[in-house]
Amino acid sequence: MAMANIRWITEMGMGVDVHGSDYTKAARRAVADALRHSSLNFFAAAGKDRGDMRVEVIVGVADPAAIDIDAVKSEVPYGLVTVRPVAGGLDVPAQDGPDRIVIANAAILVSFPE
């Protein structure tokens, strides 16, 4: 029988690329923002190891296909990491010219096999 994963942590973050329209840069910043809000001190008390974490990163941008999944994955220092780009975020057009502000939202879901 397969083990079920039980979610222990949910973190959210936002990232922006002000110039360059780089969805990957905005996504990486969103993940970094979420991680900066975390301090996981429960490992010893819960008998868990950070290497056992299953980390699912869901990142929303206007063009999910434009995200470099491996680059976003590299922002997460521990665990078995998966990245799932989805439609979301926000593109803010420039007043003039092709430039735009790209905003990404990320949710980081941490589970452990039970």
**Per residue in 81-93, pLDDT tens?**
999 999 999 999 9
Nearest CA to 90 out of 101, 74, 79 is that of 101
Nearest CA to 63 out of 110, 19, 7, 21 is that of 21
The rounded percent of the chain whose pLDDT value lies above 90 is 68
Dihedral sign (CA 53, 56, 59, 64):
positive
Alpha carbon distances (Å) from 86 to 51, 52, 102, 114: 26, 25, 14, 28
As given in the structure block, the two tokens for residue 110 are 């941490």
Give the per-residue pLDDT at 1.
62
Write the pLDDT tens digit of every residue in 11-67.
Answer: 999 999 998 899 999 999 999 999 987 777 787 778 888 888 999 999 999 999 999
Residue that wins the pLDDT comparison between 59 and 99: 59
What one-character-per-residue DSSP string does 53-89 give?
Answer: -EEEEEEEES-GGG--HHHHHTT--SSEEEEEEEE-S
- For the chain, the first-to-last Cα distance in angstroms comes to 12
What architecture is the 5-39+47-113 domain classified under in CATH?
2-Layer Sandwich (3.30)
The rounded percent of the chain whose pLDDT value lies above 70 is 98
Residue with tokens 């439609």: 87
Q: pLDDT grade, residue 6 (50/70/90)? A: confident
